[in-house]
Amino acid sequence: MHFDLTDLRLFLHVAEAGSITGAAERSGLALASASARIRGMEEKAGVLLLERRRRGVELTPAGQTLLQHARLIAGQVQRMRGEMGEYAGGLKGRVPVLANTAAADVHLPDSLAAFLAANPNVDVDLNERPSPEVARAVAQGEAEIGIAAGHADFSGLETTPFRTDRLVLAAPRGHAMASRERITFAEALGCEFVGLSGDSALGRHLAGHAARAGGRMRTRVRVRGLDAACRMVALGAGVAIVPETAVRRWNMQETLALISLDDPWADRRLVLAVRRLDSLSVHARRLTEHLLAAA
């Protein structure tokens, strides 16, 4: 059985996109070529790797097994490129990083910008996921570095404290809640919200807590990014639950009232997680050291 690196990268993209069409676009291949490669992989393996459905594909048990090996091989190739780059002088490396909303939107931009400026031969592929998915993806080798809230399951991973992050309710001055110092999330569900887009890690996290509280968030508008959410709140569109750091950074004119959330899950410790520090690629290890030094 022989799969080349193009086959394996394509299969990784299929797993990420959930469709051969999406994988073909990410791989820079024509759809017919991508489909032929997947069929060829199944013929070589002697088993079906994908279940074709009306809306995309799902991996079979054999496909899941191949996915694990493909991730390991892709990681090894990335580490090889990084280590050879130390000798070649300028060989490009790419570090996949996953982070929750607070880390991706608030804590990482400045640190990553400084790192990229100092390391022109390294690219960073940053994607946002809910904290449990971040931990799971790092454990499965989908990313070398993950930054997530401490409530996630980091079993089998090496973790290091990164930042402190607290969620608060932001309300416009004059709002009925603006005079409160503390409020529970269940109480806040009576308000109208400015929410984050449906694929936002924080938005999904809050929706889960709302369901567990026996309610739902009445969202008037969804926006992309914490700055946009703060701006909409200041203009009276509703209230929002956002990281305190993000609000204080935006709220220089004190147009927003910050109300503490009286729920244990609102106080979060962000951690940086890797599978093993000593097995990181050269570039990922350098980025990890940079992030922890900044923390």
- Verify that 215 and 185 share a domain, yes or no: yes
**Mean predicted confidence (pLDDT) in 105-133:** 91
Q: Is residue 241 part of a domain?
A: yes
Residues 159 and 275 placed together within one structural domain of the fold: yes
Q: How far apart are CA 198 and CA 264, in angstroms?
A: 24
Lowest-pLDDT range of 61-70, 73-82, 169-178, 253-262: 73-82
Q: Residue 249 has what pLDDT?
A: 81
pTM higher than 0.85 = no
Residue 85 has pLDDT above 80, yes or no: no
Same domain, 256 and 274: no
Q: Quick one: pLDDT at residue 88?
A: 54
Looking at the structure, tell me whether residues 192 and 283 fall in a common domain. Answer: no
Segment 199-254, tens digit of pLDDT: 788 888 899 999 998 888 999 999 988 999 999 999 999 999 999 988 888 876 68
Same domain (yes/no): 191, 251:
yes
Say whether both 150 and 284 belong to one domain.
yes
Residue 53: which CATH number? 1.10.10.10
Q: What is the mean pLDDT of residues 43-47?
A: 89
Which residue bears the tokens 């607070």? 102
Whether 197 and 263 map to the same domain: the answer is yes
Q: Rounded mean pLDDT of 139-167?
A: 91
Counting residues of the chain whose pLDDT is more than 70, the rounded percentage is: 94
**Least reliable range by pLDDT among 68-72, 98-102, 205-209, 218-222:** 68-72
CA distances for 103 relative to 21, 62, 270, angstroms: 31, 34, 8
Res 98 pLDDT > 90: yes
**Segment 285-292 mean pLDDT:** 94
Q: What is the pLDDT of residue 91?
A: 55
Task: Answer yes or no: is 253 within a domain.
Answer: yes
* Residue numbers of the domain that contains 10: 5-73
Report pLDDT digits (tens) over 182-204.
Answer: 999 999 999 999 998 877 888 88
- In the prediction, which pLDDT does 72 show? 78
**Domain check: are 102 and 144 in the same one?**
yes
Least confident stretch, 61-75, 167-181, 206-220: 61-75
Q: Which of these three, 73, 99, 121, is where a domain ends?
A: 73
Q: Answer whether residue 79 shows pLDDT above 70.
A: no
Give me the pLDDT at residue 194, please. 95
Whether residues 214 and 276 share a domain: the answer is: no
Region 64-86 average pLDDT = 75
Q: Give the mean pLDDT of 98-105.
A: 91
Nearest to 107 by CA among 160, 167, 149, 165: 165
Q: Which of 73, 102, 133 is the last residue of a domain?
A: 73
Domain annotation covers residue 84: no
Do 24 and 100 sit in the same domain of this protein? Answer: no
Instruction: Please indicate, yes or no, whether residues 28 and 150 belong to a single structural domain of this protein.
Output: no
Do 276 and 152 share a structural domain?
yes
Residue 79 is assigned to a structural domain of this protein: no
The CATH number assigned to the domain holding 283 equals 3.40.190.10
Q: Look at the block and give the residue holding tokens 């090889």.
A: 80
CB 257 within 8 A of CB 171: yes
The structural domain count of the chain equals 3
Residue that is last in its domain, among 26, 47, 73 = 73
* Phi, psi (degrees; rounded to nearest 5) at 135: -60, -45
